[in-house]
Amino acid sequence: MSRFEPKIVGFFCNWCTYTAADLAGTSRLSYPANIKIIRMMCSGMVDPKYVIKAFLNGADGVLIGGCWPGDCHYINGNLKARRRVAMLTEILKAYGIEEERFWLRWIAASEGNMLQEVVEEMTEKLKELGLGQLNREKMAG
């Protein structure tokens, strides 16, 4: 059986994590291809609906990337994102979408290497956790 490759959707803030992903690229820091990035202008723009939709569409993990507190390009969008994530985590957890599948991380524009580490770590973690729920059903059915 081929190894399980989790699908991760990244919602990355244009000013920090998306730029960090660009930097990881220019620095040729390789990381698992499991993550696919959607460009947002700010982590504070990520509507909980997007995360729910991603999981319902079969994502095994969702990673929101924002600026470190205090560094938000829009002053405090990331702080709002943090509260939304805290709230949404509680709902997802209740239905077996573990906290380890839904990450918010602060990754500054200069932290290309951290982006690499976070994606590697998350991919590893998801491999340990195995298939996300909706994929499990699909595999079973």
Secondary structure letter of residue 3 according to DSSP: P
Contact with another protein (CB under 8 A) among 4, 84, 98, 127: 84
Least Å from the CB of residue 101 to another protein = 12
For the chain, where are the alpha helices, taking DSSP H only? Answer: 17-26, 48-56, 77-94, 112-129, 133-140
User: Which listed residue (89, 123, 126, 131) binds another protein by CB under 8 A?
Assistant: 89
Please say which residue, 57 or 128, places its beta carbon nearer to another protein: 57
**Minimum separation from the CB atom of position 117 to another protein (A):** 11
CA distances to 19, 42, 47, 66, 117 from 54, in Å: 22, 18, 11, 18, 22
Site for another protein in 23-82 (CB under 8 A): 24-26, 28-31, 33, 36-42, 44-50, 52-59, 68-71, 73-77, 79-82
Cα separation, 78 vs 16, in Å, equals 11
Question: How many residues of this chain bind another protein (CB under 8 A)?
Answer: 80
Q: What number of other Cβ atoms are within 10 A of residue 66's Cβ?
A: 32
Could you say which of 6, 61, 63, 85 contacts another protein (CB under 8 A)? 85
90/120 Cα distance (integer angstroms): 25
Q: Which residue has the tokens 């602060």?
A: 106
Contacts to another protein from residues 98-137, by CB under 8 A: 103-106, 108-111, 113, 116, 133-134, 137
